[in-house]
Chains A and B, each alone.
Chain A
Amino acid sequence: MSLTQPQETPTLGRETIAVRGVKKYFGPTRALDGASFSARAGEIHAIVGGNGCGKSTMAKVVSGILPIDGGSVSILGETPATPAESRALGISTVYQEVLVADESSVVDNIFMGSDRLFSKSMSQARKVERARQLMEELSGEVVDPYALVGTLPLSIKQWITIARALLSNPKILILDESSAALDFDSTERLFNKMRALRDSGATVLIVTHRIAELIRISDRATVLRDGRDVGVLDKHEITERNLLALMTGEDRSTRDITHAAPQPDTGERAMKARAISVWPNGRSFDFDLRRGEIVGIAGLDGQGQDAFVRVLAGVRPALNGLVQVADRSGAWSPVRTLAEAVAGKIAYVSGDRKREGIFASLSIFENMVMPLYRERKRAGILSLIDFQSLVATFRREADNLMIKFGVKEDRITSLSGGNQQKVLIGRGFAMRPDVIILNDPARGIDVGAKAELYKHLRSFAEQGKAVVYLSSEIEEFLGFATRVIVFRDGIPFDSFDGRALEPKRVLEAMFGQTDGAGLASSYGLVPKRAATAASQGTAARAFDGVRVRVEVPAEIKAAMKAAVDPPARQAASERFVVPEPTKLPFAPKAVRIVEFDSDGRRKGGGAP
């Protein structure tokens, strides 16, 4: 693995992007701290790194959106300062966020920015024709070019942004996490398009944290960590191991060894979910959460795992079925709303700090203890806040989480991202919950803070509390999660034992490349039931070790749509009835979800 300069290969084109020691600061945060890389014509170059390593900032710097604080950027010999300039240079960018004008038509959106100020680049009729061709070619569906974009689904909107970028036959194409809203087939089509563009001599720059994708597509990869470039990998060197080693640095391996995932002492359950579904046409499934365990939730972006943890936390209602939480005496109460979740001592911590976390203009103190205001008030109707007891709580949590701050009255925005996140986690703990549900809390926080967070959560679990932890980084689960459940297409797809967790296998499951046998095991969705089932001899263990590949995930979707007809769904709402998997027109072994009826008997899946 050559970490410095890549070896010269005969097919090299000229250098098109040269970034030298670029610095970009956002207040106290150093998004880019002297990062360099270069890309050539005729290659697909990946910028890769963990969350918050500055790769998106790099994409914005290269596309001319963000001015830099230091260093130099040279693209095709120039330094564009605005998107308009970079477009004139032949640079097209597709941003992480789907940026479309909802009130305008598809054709206007695709040709956005291609016209001069007063004159059009081509006649409207030709634009329409071109737009229709392009959309059909890219998305594989017929899209009315006159349709208002606001009426289209997200994936089509994403295609519109890609079509806009491809329209001008760019010399440099920058894709910033652009496959987020696309499904498997679409991603493949996008990759073909990228290869064609590369072969015609353009530079394709992809920014991604999806290792599997970039291994397949990229010719070279620059790895960023903490705002610096830590290595460049050539095509043959781009392997998961190399990437992970570079992305995570040295300290990661030690952490894996020193800790073992907590294991529940008793089988006592903290929460149970019965026959819930989180997607409109998604199948329903069961889920148990035991006291003293940490359940990791994983999946590619937008595969329903986010919806699942929100349902568990009562932030959004389940489409079917019921989530219940046990109080300390073991009595079950339902969780349908946020209020019921809070009453059931469930705390929810979102990783999306800006949007659903912090109160930017309020103090650190208030940001942490605000949920306690209601229960700790004095003077009845006057509702005076009991500052004394709240300060004590604040001190305790701030010490526990080792939050670094000046004065507690400072605004929360004066803290770094990691410390802000700690305040939010402290907010969760301040409510003294029995169950804490974290939705990708480690997004954008540094390694040290992460380690402290894991430690804290582990000791929390050891007190007999339960943790549900969604993460977009598989490596977070190593030595931390008791079991890991992987979501795909809105349902759990596979499950893994935290004691013997292999990131590669989890990644395969995220892409639908495993058999899903883990779901029925003792580390599956409902561990206790699996254990009893095993003792009765009807376990799904027969399938352990058998690898059945799921060929085309899209077929599963299609078949499931066909299988779930309205009467069946109606029945499902009253009594849990699932369409028998054997009736599905493809091999029943493909998805191995074990279905149970309300009495706990096995309905289908798993065993033949």
Chain B
Amino acid sequence: MDMLAKLSLPARILGLAIGIVLTVIGIGFGFAQGVSVQIIILAAIATMASFTWAWGFVLGQFAQGESTTADGISPLRRAWMAYRWPLLGLALILLAFIVLSLTVEGFFNIWNIISLIILLVILILTRTLGRQFQLNRSAFIGIMVLAGLFSVGSMNIEGFASGNNIKSMLLFASFLGIASIGQTLVALLGGLDLSIPFVIGAANVGLLYLMGLGVPPWLATLIVLGIGAILGAINGLLSYKLQGQALIVTLGTGFAISGGVQIITSIGSAYSGNVFGTVPAWLSNLSAMNGSTFGLPFPPVIAIWVVIALILILGLRLTVYGRFLYALGVNRTSASRLMISEMRYWVTMYTLSGFFAALTGSLLLGWSGGGFIGVGDQYLFLTLAAVVVGGTSLLGGAGGYGFTVIGVLVLQVLSSFLVGIGLDFKWQQFIFGLLILPMVALYARSPHIRTQI
């Protein structure tokens, strides 16, 4: 309670007042919706208690280090100035809760109140404990969000925490995770690769086409992966030559690749753009829901992702290549003084990006069993969102694949959660879009122009 002691009197009174108002509003809604009295009382106590605790705890954090402010401002105003951001945040969450309670029938129930409390607790924990993790704050926040989402989801949605659902979440997370490898590596350099979805689609269709031609499946897969890598290398070379325009370059090459592959697969075929063929059993087993890994009941693609992720995380931390990649991303002039070849790293990272995109495309073929050029479309921004939400800076040099893994999981659980509460893909897209902004604002704000002169 020594935290609370630091709070000024007006701040405490303000907090109490808001808490009471909120509780009364909650009780009002409860009665209006005809919820049983026990639940209302329980909810009211919970709201009141959690709010006052959160208020004191959060503001106590803010009060530290800001003890000396200029005199002459009224205490109320000073309290507002010091605590306006947590106040606004709390107000927003509560407002959303109230609005939802008002509009959605039966929203005001005990589970949702518990969810709200969990959300608040997570917010506060992130705010308070996050300070201890200066370096990996984004990862910490990501894990907290993940935990919160998962617990809220498992409470509210039936079957959310079931083994099957977790397996399917992991399966889709593996696809997204493998597709995001390239994006992460390229983002560490300060570039972007928007050709990933097109390569995924092209690999998906191209692999089936090759197998349809009678090429042995293993050879076809190798060819597709090789071509993916080569396309990546071209991307890297072009992006390096056209510094700072990687986004547009890769978008352009992506379109060209997608168009080109479709033309090739359409030649001599009556069904333009549609490719038919049979997917071999081993490829299906790799990424199908009911696949098995050495007898264990989960698809091998999850294992593949875990292995690649471990290699990458360790590789980025412990090998010369990994560290030089970071060096290049932070400061290319300094890196050139250490004789780190910029071009080589750009080409290599984009090559890897192309390779893993092609791999994702091939694995998706095993999952769906049929070729479709648009299979990668959603990865256009999902890979980027995973990187950004995880906390890898798009300016280069900060972050890592471990962060992206967290980002991937957050996105996957969130999307599963949204599906669970009945929101389909378009809503997910909308929410992901809005989610990117605050995440980037947390880690990658540009400095004010005053400081750049």
Interface residues of A (CB under 8 A from B): 60, 65-67, 95, 97, 99, 315, 338-339, 342, 348, 350, 355-362, 366, 370-371, 373-374, 377, 382-385, 409, 411
CB A180 to nearest CB in B, in angstroms, measures 15
Question: Which interface residue of A360, A361, A382, A384 has the most chain B CB atoms within 10 A?
Answer: A361
Given A355-B334, A356-B334, A359-B330, 19 more pairs with CB closer than 8 A:
A338-B339, A348-B337, A355-B333, A356-B333, A356-B337, A359-B331, A359-B335, A359-B397, A360-B330, A361-B397, A362-B323, A362-B326, A362-B327, A362-B330, A366-B327, A374-B320, A377-B319, A383-B320, A385-B318
Is B320 touching A358 in the complex (CB atoms < 8 A)?
A: no
Bits for B423-453, please: 1 = Cβ < 8 Å to A, else 0.
0000000000000000000000000001001
Q: Shortest 7 CB-CB distances between A and B: which pairs?
A: A383-B320, A356-B333, A359-B330, A361-B398, A373-B320, A383-B319, A361-B397
Is B319 touching A382 in the complex (CB atoms < 8 A)?
A: yes
Bits for B335-357, please: 1 = Cβ < 8 Å to A, else 0.
11111000000000000000000
The answer to the question of B135 belonging to the interface, with a C-beta cut-off of 8 Å to chain A, is yes
The answer to the question of B401 belonging to the interface, with a C-beta cut-off of 8 Å to chain A, is no
Bits for B397-418, please: 1 = Cβ < 8 Å to A, else 0.
1100000000000000000000
The answer to the question of B111 belonging to the interface, with a C-beta cut-off of 8 Å to chain A, is no
By DSSP majority rule, is chain B's interface helix, strand, loop, or mixed?
Answer: helix
- Which residues of chain B in 26-74 are interfacial with respect to chain A, using CB atoms and an 8 Å cutoff? none
Which chain A residues lie closer than 8 Å to B218 at the CB level? Answer: none
The answer to the question of B324 belonging to the interface, with a C-beta cut-off of 8 Å to chain A, is yes
- A-B contacts, 15 listed (Cβ < 8 Å): A65-B453, A66-B450, A342-B339, A350-B337, A355-B331, A359-B327, A359-B331, A359-B334, A360-B330, A361-B330, A361-B397, A361-B398, A374-B320, A383-B320, A385-B318
Considering only CB atoms, which chain B residue lies closest to A424 in the complex? B334
Interface residues of B (CB under 8 A from A): 135, 318-321, 323-324, 326-327, 330-331, 333-339, 393, 397-398, 450, 453
Which chain B residues lie closer than 8 Å to A338 at the CB level? Answer: 336-337, 339
Is B337 touching A358 in the complex (CB atoms < 8 A)?
A: no
Once bound together, how far apart are the Cα atoms of A357 and B331, in whole Å? 8
Known A97-B453, A384-B318: A370·B323 in contact at CB below 8 Å: yes
Which chain A residues lie closer than 8 Å to B453 at the CB level? Answer: 60, 65, 95, 97, 99
Is B339 touching A366 in the complex (CB atoms < 8 A)?
A: no
Which chain A residues lie closer than 8 Å to B135 at the CB level? Answer: 409, 411
Considering only CB atoms, which chain B residue lies closest to A369 in the complex? B323
Which chain B residues lie closer than 8 Å to A95 at the CB level? Answer: 453
Which chain A residues lie closer than 8 Å to B318 at the CB level? Answer: 384-385
Is B326 touching A361 in the complex (CB atoms < 8 A)?
A: yes
Once bound together, how far apart are the Cα atoms of A10 and B413, in whole Å? 79
CB A409 to nearest CB in B, in angstroms, measures 8
Is B323 touching A373 in the complex (CB atoms < 8 A)?
A: yes
Is B397 touching A65 in the complex (CB atoms < 8 A)?
A: no
Is B331 touching A315 in the complex (CB atoms < 8 A)?
A: no
Which chain A residues lie closer than 8 Å to B324 at the CB level? Answer: 370, 373
CB A350 to nearest CB in B, in angstroms, measures 7
CB B335 to nearest CB in A, in angstroms, measures 8
Once bound together, how far apart are the Cα atoms of A382 and B315, in whole Å? 9
Once bound together, how far apart are the Cα atoms of A492 and B358, in whole Å? 59
Which chain A residues lie closer than 8 Å to B323 at the CB level? Answer: 362, 366, 370, 373, 385
Which chain B residues lie closer than 8 Å to A358 at the CB level? Answer: 331, 334
Question: Which interface residue of B326, B335, B336, B338 has the most chain A CB atoms within 10 A?
Answer: B338
CB A192 to nearest CB in B, in angstroms, measures 28
Neighbour of A359 across the interface among B320, B326, B336, B393, CB < 8 A: B326
Neighbour of A65 across the interface among B337, B338, B450, CB < 8 A: B450
Considering only CB atoms, which chain B residue lies closest to A350 in the complex? B337
CB A85 to nearest CB in B, in angstroms, measures 13
Once bound together, how far apart are the Cα atoms of A97 and B330, in whole Å? 23
Once bound together, how far apart are the Cα atoms of A385 and B323, in whole Å? 9
Which chain B residues lie closer than 8 Å to A383 at the CB level? Answer: 319-321
Considering only CB atoms, which chain A residue lies closest to B328 in the complex? A359
Is B450 touching A360 in the complex (CB atoms < 8 A)?
A: no
Which chain B residues lie closer than 8 Å to A370 at the CB level? Answer: 323-324, 327, 338
Once bound together, how far apart are the Cα atoms of A373 and B450, in whole Å? 37
CB B338 to nearest CB in A, in angstroms, measures 5
Considering only CB atoms, which chain A residue lies closest to B314 in the complex? A384
Known A66-B450, A383-B320: A371·B338 in contact at CB below 8 Å: yes
Once bound together, how far apart are the Cα atoms of A409 and B320, in whole Å? 17
CB A59 to nearest CB in B, in angstroms, measures 10
Once bound together, how far apart are the Cα atoms of A66 and B448, in whole Å? 10
Which chain A residues lie closer than 8 Å to B336 at the CB level? Answer: 338
CB A375 to nearest CB in B, in angstroms, measures 10
Once bound together, how far apart are the Cα atoms of A385 and B316, in whole Å? 11
Which chain A residues lie closer than 8 Å to B397 at the CB level? Answer: 359-362
Is B334 touching A357 in the complex (CB atoms < 8 A)?
A: yes
Considering only CB atoms, which chain A residue lies closest to B396 in the complex? A361
CB A394 to nearest CB in B, in angstroms, measures 14
Once bound together, how far apart are the Cα atoms of A338 and B337, in whole Å? 7
Which chain B residues lie closer than 8 Å to A355 at the CB level? Answer: 331, 333-334
Neighbour of B319 across the interface among A66, A385, A409, CB < 8 A: A385
Known A65-B453, A95-B453, A359-B327: A385·B320 in contact at CB below 8 Å: yes
CB A178 to nearest CB in B, in angstroms, measures 14
Considering only CB atoms, which chain A residue lies closest to B135 in the complex? A411
